[in-house]
Structure 1
Amino acid sequence: MALLRRTFPTLFLHFCLLNWSAWAKVELTMHKDVEVYLGESAQIPCQYNFTDADNEPSFVMIQWFVKAAGNSARKRIFYGDVSQQIVDNNTDYSGRIEVTSDQQEAQLTIRDVQLNDEREFFCQVNGLAAGNAEGKTHLRVFAPPETPVIEGVLPGISITNEVPSKVASCEARNGFPKPNITWYRNGLPLVSAPGYVNVLILVTQQSSDFYSVQSTLEYKVVKEDKDAHFSCEVSFFVPGAIRTVESHSINITVHYPTTMVELWKESPQGLVKEGDTVALRCQGDGNPLPSFIFNREQELDVDLESNNAEVLMLSPVSRKDSGIYQCRPLDNNDYAEVKGEMQLTVHYLDPAVVVPKDSEFMLKGEDLTATCNALSSLDTDTVWYKNGKQVGKGNTLHLKDATYETTGEYICEVTVPSLPALHTSGSVNIIVQGGPQLVGVEQEVQMEEATGRMVNLSCEAQGHPVPIISWNIIGSQNWNEVVSKANEHMTHSVVSVKVTSDISASCNASNDMGTEVKAFSIRAIPRVTSAAPFSPAEGSGVIIVVIILCLLLLAILGSVLYFLHKKGKIPCGRSGKQEITKEKTTKDDIVVEMKTNTKNEEAVLLKAVNGDKKGPNDQSMADGTPPSTEEPIGEPAQ
Structure 2
Amino acid sequence: MALPDTAPLLVGLLLLFHAFGAWAIVEVTMEDKVEVMAGETAQITCMFTTDEGLGGTTIQWFYVPPNKERQRIYNKEPMHEAAEQNTLFTHRISLNVNGTAAVLAIRDVGVRDNLEFICVIKTLTPEEAEGRTQLQVFKSPTFPTIEAVETGISVNEEAPSKIGSCRVKNGYPKPNITWYRNNMPLRNTPREVVVTSSTTIESSGLFSVQSELTMKVKKEHKDAVFYCEVIYFVPGATKMTESQHINITVYYLPTEVNIWVESPKGKIKEGDTLELRCDNNGNYPSSITTIKHQNSEYSVENKTMVRTNVKRLDGGVYECTFEETDNFEEISGSTKVSVNYLESAVITPKDSIAVMEGEELKASCNALSSLQTSTTWFKNEKLVSKGNTLSVKSATLETAGMYKCVVTVPEMEGMKTSSTLQVNVKGSPQILGPDVQEVETYETTVNLTCSATGFPAPTIMWTTSDGKNLNALQTETEDGAQSVVTFKITSNVKVFCNASNDFGSKVVEFNIKTKSKGFVIAIIIIAIFLLAILGSVLYFLYKKGRICGRSGKQDFSKRKSSKDNIVVEMKSDNTEEAILLGVNGEKQQPNDQ
TM over 0.5: no
**Which of the pair is proportionally richer in strand?**
2
TM-score (norm 2): 0.44
**Considering only CA atoms, is the larger Rg found in Structure 1 or Structure 2?**
2
More helix by share: 1
- Give me the TM-score of the superposition, normalised by structure 1: 0.41
